[in-house]
Amino acid sequence: MNERELSPPAASRPPQFTEKTFYLEEFYGKSLLFALIPPSGERLSELDSLVKTLRELLRNQTRCIVIVSASALPRLVKRLGRMLAAAPATFNPAIGRRRRPYPPDSAVAQIWQSLRAGSIVAAAAETGDPGDFVIFAQELASRLRVFKLLMLERGGGLRDKAGEIDSFVDLRRIRRALSREPNPLRRATIRAARRALRDGVASVNLTNPRGVYEELFSFLGSGTLLTEQRYANVRQISIDDFEEVEALIRRGQTEGYLLPRGDPEIAALLPSCFGYRVGDEHLAGICALLTEPYRRERAGEITALYTLTRFLGEGVATELLREVVAEARQRRLNYVFACTSEERAARFFGRLRFGRARFRRVAPAKIAAAKWRGYETARIARIAIFRCDLA
């Protein structure tokens, strides 16, 4: 499963997998709102990553609304240049806030007319107060029901107790995030994100303006993704997911976490794969339950277990295996097993337990003999084997 092998020669390797392709596919035809919270955007260098991002999304036919403070608007317009097909709009957040709907229909109609002229729209909020700007950005995102709201603030993503970036926060964890945050503006931003999610915005990203490209187009990310619900959604993948799962397997192989396999071997795994999906986002992890080679023993092999780096420590692997073990029980298997030469994976399986079912380290002879066909003795000696009895 996580067995390291020598990488194949460069000429035989598959093309490098780029996660940007999958995110662009997800954003196609959708609307994204970028809010540069003052003083973000007042330095030209802070716009580099945003302009690079918008250029990709423009080619992708993604609708993008960018709002900045009035003082930062001239710099943004200059940097965007010909990407802007319509004159920037200006909104005064102080007008009409007590009325509903807010922002008013006229503001929404103005944005839509600008989007009809071109898929990137710039607008300014006539306020220099970051707190007022955050509230307006949230109200506008909620009114438009955009697919994603990106709050670009110099402080970047939220931090956990250890001071590391907290990659994912759902509504149930927002109270904890608020209790850890000493900065009033940051607390206001978190509350605004919560309101946007409750109003129907699919997800909110909080990141530094310089890291928006990485946050939007890479699995590593640079900030915090906030979602309404716990992002665990584990189920067996459909044939429409096969291409994405195949790409993740190849990525795991390139990183050295998965055993190198050719196209036929990967294709054989896909029908038995389970995926852990992050809300409406892409897969965060995968795992296969391979049973066909072990029919006589009524056994299943847990293989191709891979979690994207950004999701490590979020319990993805445990949730995947919980579902896989439940599926193995439904299939009335006698046992499942996993093989790894990764020390971290071995420690993980050594402490894994689901009720009375636990994984025990065993000798090679304790699992299906079909597993070892074609294996060299020296290679088997490097592998840690774990078996979980289900009968």
Tokens linked to 347: 């420690």
Exposed, middle or buried, 150 (CB in 10 Å: 0-12/13-18/19+)? buried
**Which range has the top average pLDDT, 9-13, 228-232, 309-313?**
309-313
The per-residue pLDDT for 280 is 58
Of 82, 76, 73, 15, nearest to 49 (Cα)?
76
Per residue in 145-202, pLDDT tens? 999 999 999 999 998 888 888 888 888 888 888 988 999 999 999 999 999 999 999 8
86 within 8 A of 117, measured Cβ to Cβ:
yes
- Could you tell me where the beta strands, DSSP code E, fall in the chain? 31-36, 63-69, 89-91, 120-125, 148-152, 168-170, 203-207, 224-227, 234-236, 273-277, 283-290, 299-307, 335-340, 353-354, 357-358, 360-362, 384-389
Of 147, 134, 135, nearest to 62 (Cα)?
147
**102-121 b/e (C-beta count within 10 Å ≥ 16 → b):** bbeeebeebbeebbeeebbb
Per residue in 24-78, pLDDT tens? 888 999 999 999 999 998 888 999 999 999 999 999 999 999 999 999 999 999 9
What's the CA gap between 165 and 209, in Å, rounded?
15
348 within 8 A of 319, measured Cβ to Cβ:
no
169 within 8 A of 177, measured Cβ to Cβ:
yes
Looking at residue 10, its amino acid is A
Looking at residue 17, its amino acid is F
* Order of strands, sheet of 273-277, starting from the edge strand that comes earlier in the sequence: 234-236, 273-277, 283-290, 299-307, 335-340, 384-389, 360-362
What's the CA gap between 64 and 83, in Å, rounded?
11
Q: Is the pTM of this model over 0.85?
A: no
The per-residue pLDDT for 11 is 36
Under DSSP, the state recorded for 281 is: S
**316-350 b/e (C-beta count within 10 Å ≥ 16 → b):** bbebbbbbbbebbeeeebebbbbbbbbeebbebbe
Under DSSP, the state recorded for 132 is: H
The per-residue pLDDT for 228 is 80
Q: Is 253 left (phi over 0), alpha (psi -120 to 50) or beta?
A: alpha
Helix H or strand E segment including 301: strand 299-307
Across the chain, what does the average pLDDT equal? 88
311 within 8 A of 167, measured Cβ to Cβ:
yes
Q: Which residue has the tokens 């928006």?
A: 212
Q: What residue ranges define each of the domains in the chain, with the CATH number in brackets? A: 19-227 (3.40.1160.10), 232-389 (3.40.630.30)
The per-residue pLDDT for 65 is 97
What's the CA gap between 79 and 5, in Å, rounded?
47
Rounded to a whole number, what is the distance in angstroms from the first to the last CA of the chain?
23
The per-residue pLDDT for 355 is 83
The per-residue pLDDT for 221 is 82
Half-sphere exposure of 208 (CA within 13 A, CB side): 14
The per-residue pLDDT for 37 is 96
Per residue in 217-263, pLDDT tens? 987 788 998 888 655 578 898 888 898 899 889 988 888 888 888 99
C-alpha distances out from residue 191 to 23, 88, 164, 187, Å: 26, 28, 21, 6
